[in-house]
Structure 1
Amino acid sequence: MKKLKIGLLSYRSDPFSGGQGIYIKNVSEALQNRGHEVTIFSGNPLPIVNNKIKVVEINTPGYFETFNSFERFKIFQAQEKTRLDLWDFIETFTGTFTEPIFFGDRLLQNTEFAKTADSYDVFHDNQSISNYPDSINKKLITTLHHPIHVDRDIDLENESSFLRKLAIKRWYSFLNFQKKNLKKVKKIISPSKSSKKDICHYFQYPAEQISVIWNGIDLADCKFHQRTSFNSEFVTIISSDVPMKNLRNILKALYLLKNDGLNAKLTIIGDLREDNKKLINDLDLNDLVSFRKKLPRNELIKILNASDIGIAASSYEGFGFPLVEMIATGLPVIVSDKASLPELAGDAGLKFNSDDVSDLKDKMKELVKNHALRDKLASNSKVRRDAFFGWDEYAKKLEDLFEEIISGNI
């Protein structure tokens, strides 16, 4: 295929937290390695990419680098006080997450974008779903990792305070804005079949305009590890400890397992909320639970190789990178029955009802006691590993969709 000039659009691209920056880095570098000219237009935080890729900073206020109202007011005072700045501040101050809402307007104000926009063959939006003009929309493809409505619903389910529920609904009110904007998008990329189904449901978007492409993942350093001993060591990767990660039910299941006379251990990789630290104390699990904050890649793999069984318990994942990494190292896994996790695990894991602590405990107990089943799942993991592909293959699949957009076949 001919070499393209590609504009990647991302309202934030934090390289160390969440998926935006990680996705943008991998996609941009894979496309550039295939000979395309790639420019990233991003709000702060900016991505960290190789120097062959141009990064254009879109001026954003940075209100969400702090949750202190006084600090936000100081940021506003330093703004030019345009109508856009005033509207952004009011929406932020009254509780709305505004970054995706105003990214499109701020993009159009950028001098570099204004001068070069017409020269791009295609634009690829990373779930900003902002208010773009027709000149962008006619060349636009959007990656929608999963509908954030799911995060909202889970947050509401886990909140009892009426006022806090109102605040949650206000925070997520940007979703109404995105639903309206998505109607203008010709093609969506979804990372899983389950995510595609939910996009259709929440956004009322036509299924035939959604292409499912599993995310690329680099497994070169994530070798299959043949375990020669068993020490009842469980591991789970949660990154940020939000209700959607379902860590509370893992801890409760570990407690039930302990009451059944099995002192299995659990390593948690990621941040830990205070209420879950309290739960560990209340359930007297301190001797059985260890946790590590965000780790370098080599340290993460060492911990996975030292573990016996992986748990991916999330109530929702558009695409579960940690699960794929666990499978790649040969871990037998236990996965929740929600969203993309069963799709990714295939026959390399046992499924449990994500809302049922006893069901999770039973699956944990079954794998601790059943050596033959562990070996079977580990063997299946070795086969399942080959179903996943790297970012170069992902970029090839993108090129086919870009060509459809450019040729007007979408």
Structure 2
Amino acid sequence: MTAEASQAGPPAGPAADGLRPLRIALLTYKGNPFCGGQGVYVRHLSRELARLGHHVEVIGAQPYPVLDEGYDGLSLTELPSLDLYRQPDPFRTPGRDEYRDWIDALEVATMWTGGFPEPLTFSLRARRHLRARRGDFDVVHDNQTLGYGLLGDVGAPLVTTIHHPITVDRQLELDAAEGWQRRFSVKRWYGFTRMQKRVARRLPSVLTVSGTSRQEIVDHLGVRPDRIHVVHVGADTDLFSPDPAVPQVPGRIVTTSSADVPLKGLVFLVEALAKVRTEHPDAHLVVVGKRPTEGPVAQAVQRYGLEGAVEFVKGISDAELVDLVRSAQVACVPSLYEGFSLPAAEAMATGTPLVATTGGAIPEVAGRDGETCLAVPPGDAGALAAGLGRLLGDADLRTRLGTAGRERVLRHFTWARAAEGTAARYREEIARSAGPERRSAAGSEQRRVAGPERRRLAARLDRPALQTPGHSPAALDQVPSPGSERSAGPRPGVDRTVALSRPALDRPAAPSLGPLAEEATAGGVSQAVTVSGKSSGSPAEGATAGAPGGVSPSPTPTPAPPEATPTRTTGVYRESRTTC
């Protein structure tokens, strides 16, 4: 379904909680489940919300979300961008006939100057679309766009998911960058994080996926703790389940990782494999991700002579992925940091024993060392090797940890539980926004930002270089009617009122991280690789920086295509299984 989405009403009858079904707009600027964890989140959450009886309209840009079929009340609306990072020509220059409005011009100008425009430009397109369809939705749920366009009135109460602050990724990649040019390129690429900080502080209701991410959002983004709610995500436990008919391959270790992203710690796992093979010669590694042609992982594979012991697979289906994990004797999550770690939950759901680091929120998912997994410090190849070797050599331990791991996932990490918790937060925000104190606060906010700072930003967005022929400032204030989104010729622009952030709020006392985070801490497990200046467990020298949106920042501020194009979305859980 395109932006001319049908105006279907909500499902008939009550929702699973006995209340009126909600009409939900679920926004995602990168929604394909094979391009990163944000797409996985959208796919499974939308399905489970529809199962509860709600009407869910997913509104996304390229690569478009892939939704499960056969569910009443679940639909997709395509909100097209210029798709500047598509394969096989990322960082492309669009033809003149592709420009539709000033937002397209802004998108290209940001890319040309080394930035990543999609969070901002998608938010502006989404704002225009939502305002044109005022009254169609009970709640708007933003999946970590955090763009200026979603501030102010979007036609319904706003709930936002922040998986973890992208500032964490930015700092880790700066730590791995060599030379001032590379550091400049990384800083420019991650320039959108300044916008995300400003927007996050203004949000009325934030959902996040772990207690660790909650604390990171407070520390890095300055969001008030009382506005942040933890709703754990989960694994598809029907799909990711044990199957005795799938034979285990002796010595097989499986990981879902990205070779170009220092945060994922794959170089340490390759080094650990070399150590393990001295005692377990049949040990070999299967990486769900793209084979690197250069960089620290490729160098490590060559240095240790592991060309025949490390296999990279991509483009596999969900069923093939599940069977691959089932066939492994050990699954591994070597990340330096994760905001949640879907690969850990999915591996545990299959009954495959797990070796995982204690980076970020991984202990919340994997549980205590020796009970549901083997936990090791992040960035420590020796500790990884010891854990892998211990499991490969002990069949009883593999069975015990595999069984306990699946039981933990079934108790805490299912998509049905995630949907129930999310729907409850929707209703709370709808009720809160309907109160008289909310209307008073909203008016105060509008007055607070209606000063010179707001006018300066509006003037910047109106500059001639970002306008296309036939688009006067007056035309930009027009709101298109539904169904005009993909009409031929230039389209009317978005409402240019872009609210700015308030000054940083005084931070209240740190909140409780939640029972699972506290359980991990009580078990003596390190909670995070905290990024403040240099990270502990920093990436190996020479590691190349990755980037959000399925691409790497170009080596200079110009948009020249990189030699190797990564296939991931930063700040999410799962690496891609095919090129986006």
Q: For the structure 1 residues 86 and 349, does the alpha-carbon distance in structure 2 shift closer, same or farther, using more than 3 Å as the test?
A: same
Q: For the structure 1 residues 387 and 294, does the alpha-carbon distance in structure 2 shift closer, same or farther, using more than 3 Å as the test?
A: farther
Give structure 2 stretches of 5+ with no counterpart.
1-18, 439-580
Is residue 213 of structure 1 aligned with residue 237 of structure 2? no
Classify the secondary structure of the residue corresponding to 1:135.
coil
- Deviation readout 1:302-340 (Å, 9 max, x if unpaired): 222221111111112222111112112222211011012
Match of 1:30 among 33, 42, 48: 48
Q: For the structure 1 residues 175 and 305, does the alpha-carbon distance in structure 2 shift closer, same or farther, using more than 3 Å as the test?
A: same
Counterpart for residue 106 of structure 2: 87
Counterpart for residue 394 of structure 1: 418
CA contact (8 A) 1:37 1:53 kept: yes
Counterpart for residue 12 of structure 1: 30
Aligned-residue offset at 1:17: 0.9
Distance 1:306 1:12 in 2: 31
Is residue 324 of structure 1 aligned with residue 324 of structure 2? no
1:11-410 matches, within 5 Å, as 11-49=29-67, 50=69, 52-65=73-86, 71-72=92-93, 74-75=94-95, 78-80=98-100, 82=102, 84-110=103-129, 113-131=130-148, 132-136=150-154, 139-225=157-243, 231-238=250-257, 241-259=260-278, 262-275=281-294, 276-346=297-367, 347-408=371-432
- Deviation readout 1:246-276 (Å, 9 max, x if unpaired): 1111111111223456552222222121233
Q: For the structure 1 residues 66 and 165, does the alpha-carbon distance in structure 2 shift closer, same or farther, using more than 3 Å as the test?
A: farther
- Deviation readout 1:215-246 (Å, 9 max, x if unpaired): 13211132235699783322212166522221
Distance 2:379 2:430 in 1: 45
**TM-score for both structures, normalised by structure 2:** 0.65
CA contact (8 A) 1:28 1:53 kept: yes
Distance 1:217 1:70 in 2: 34
- Deviation readout 1:344-372 (Å, 9 max, x if unpaired): 11131111111121121222222233444
Aligned-residue offset at 1:375: 3.8
Q: For the structure 1 residues 297 and 240, does the alpha-carbon distance in structure 2 shift closer, same or farther, using more than 3 Å as the test?
A: farther
Give structure 1 stretches of 5+ with no counterpart.
none
CA contact (8 A) 1:8 1:123 kept: yes
CA contact (8 A) 1:239 1:294 kept: no
**Letter of the structure 1 residue corresponding to residue 382 of structure 2:** S
CA contact (8 A) 1:217 1:389 kept: yes
CA contact (8 A) 2:160 2:203 kept: yes
Classify the secondary structure of the residue corresponding to 2:92.
helix
- Deviation readout 1:14-70 (Å, 9 max, x if unpaired): 242112322222222222232222222222222233374333332422222269688
**Letter of the structure 1 residue corresponding to residue 154 of structure 2:** I
- Deviation readout 1:113-138 (Å, 9 max, x if unpaired): 33322342111001001122422387
Task: Kindly indicate whether structure 1 or structure 2 has the higher relative contact order, using CA contacts under 8 Å at least 6 residues apart.
Answer: 2
Give the CA RMSD over aligned residues.
2.6
Classify the secondary structure of the residue corresponding to 1:44.
coil
Distance 1:104 1:339 in 2: 28
Paired positions, count = 406
Classify the secondary structure of the residue corresponding to 1:136.
coil
CA contact (8 A) 1:269 1:291 kept: yes
Q: For the structure 1 residues 370 and 167, does the alpha-carbon distance in structure 2 shift closer, same or farther, using more than 3 Å as the test?
A: same
- Deviation readout 1:46-95 (Å, 9 max, x if unpaired): 223337433333242222226968832x346631453x443332222111
**Letter of the structure 2 residue corresponding to residue 89 of structure 1:** V
CA contact (8 A) 2:115 2:192 kept: yes
Distance 2:88 2:179 in 1: 20
**Letter of the structure 2 residue corresponding to residue 349 of structure 1:** C
| Higher CA-based Rg | 2
Q: For the structure 1 residues 306 and 69, does the alpha-carbon distance in structure 2 shift closer, same or farther, using more than 3 Å as the test?
A: closer
Classify the secondary structure of the residue corresponding to 1:348.
coil
Structure number with higher strand proportion: 1
Aligned-residue offset at 1:106: 1.8
Aligned-residue offset at 1:300: 1.8
Distance 1:337 1:389 in 2: 18
Distance 1:242 1:70 in 2: 19
Aligned residues: percent identity?
27
